Amino acid sequence: MCLAIPMKLIERRELVGTAELDGVRREIGLALCPEAEVGAYVLVHAGYAIGTLDETEAKLTLELLSQLEMEQP
């Protein structure tokens, strides 16, 4: 199963950017999502942004992932 995590793009340098989630920052590739702008939420999979989504959808997705994590034994 593959999973993409919503992260906020906080810095951009051509086709490389820095994304953040809960204070954790990761360098990501933007070649698959060149339209992403600083401040946008991107779906990150295997170190690459593979799409963008609005803040509401990003927060909903993160909330659902958090609920799943809490349900694990």
Query: Using one digit for the tens of pLDDT, what is the confidence trace for 11-49?
Result: 999 999 999 999 999 999 999 999 999 999 999 999 999
The model carries a pTM of 0.88
3-state helix, strand, coil in the chain (%, to 5): 25, 45, 35
Enumerate residues 6+ apart whose C-beta is below 8 A from 55: 41
DSSP state of 62: H
pLDDT for the residue numbered 13 = 96
What is the CATH number for 24?
2.30.30.140
Q: CA torsion, points 38, 42, 44, 50, in degrees to nearest 10?
A: -110
Residue 71 has pLDDT above 90, yes or no: no
Asked whether the predicted pLDDT for residue 1 surpasses 80, the reply is no
| CA distance linking residue 18 with residue 30, whole number of Å | 10
What's the domain range around 26?
5-71
How many structural domains compose the chain? 1
